[in-house]
Chain A
Amino acid sequence: ETGVTQTPRHLVMGMTNKKSLKCEQHLGHNAMYWYKQSAKKPLELMFVYSLEERVENNSVPSRFSPECPNSSHLFLHLHTLQPEDSALYLCASSQAMQPPNEQFFGPGTRLTVL
C-alpha cells in the first residue's frame, strides 16, 4: 500500500467512549500531522511530530492525545469528547517539517460524537 492511510474511515462515538484514530504513511517521511476540518472552517493544525518528537500542539484540548511510536505511525487517542468535536480528522506527512515541503494527506476519519 502506498501513500498515507487512515483507519477507521468513519467513527461514531458517545461522549463517554474512548477510541483511537490511526494513521500510517508509506512514503519514508519524517514529519506527520493531525488536522481537524470542521464544516465551513479552515483546516486547523492540531499536532506535528518530527522524527517522532512532538514539536507543536497548537493549544488542543487534553481530550485529544497524540502518540507517535515511530516515523511511520501516528495515533490520535480520543476520550470524553464533545459534540462540537465532530469533524473530519486528517493525517498528513511530509519529508521534513520545515518548509517548503509538500504535505501528503490521508483520506481522513469522519468522526461523529453523539
Chain B
Amino acid sequence: EDKVVQSPLSLVVHEGDTVTLNCSYEVTNFRSLLWYKQEKKAPTFLFMLTSSGIEKKSGRLSSILDKKELFSILNITATQTGDSAVYLCAVYSGNTGKLIFGQGTTLQVKP
C-alpha cells in the first residue's frame, strides 16, 4: 500500500533556529514529491521535486529529494514566528494519478 510518512509530527523551536523536516515514502511508480505549508486555511505550495540531488531554494526554505533512499527533507533556516504552520509532504503515484499526503509536521516557532 502506498504511504507517505513525515517526521517529526511536531516541533517547537525558537526564532533563529534551523529546522529540518523529513518525508519518507513508499509509492508505486513515483512521479513527484510536493511540499506545502498550511496555516489556518488551505495549503500553499512550496516546492515540487522530481529529480534526485537537485536542491530547490526559496528564501530561507530549501528542499532536496533522494529517490534512491526514498525521502525528502525540507530545511528552514533562521526561523521566524511566521513560519509556524503545518508542513505537508505529498507524493504523486504515476500508476493511479493520486496524490498521497503524509500526516504533516506541526512547527511552532517561539519568539
Whether A100 and B48, one on each chain, are in contact in the complex, defined by CB atoms closer than 8 angstroms, is: yes
Q: Is the interface of B mostly helix, strand, loop or mixed?
A: strand
Most buried by A among B4, B41, B93, B104: B41
Residues of A within 8 A of B101 (CB): 42-43
Inter-chain contact count A-B, CB under 8 Å? Answer: 54
Given contacts A97-B97, A99-B97, A100-B92, contact A41 B103 (CB under 8 A): yes
**Minimal Cβ-Cβ distance residue in A for B89:** A42
Question: Size of chain A's interface in residues, with CB distance under 8 A?
Answer: 23
Indicate if A66 sits at the interface (CB-CB under 8 A).
Answer: no
Q: Which one, A43, A98, A102, A105, contacts B97 given CB within 8 A?
A: A98
Docked-complex contact A45 and B48, CB < 8 angstroms? no
**Contact residue among A48, A100, A105 (Cβ-Cβ distance under 8 Å from B42):** A105
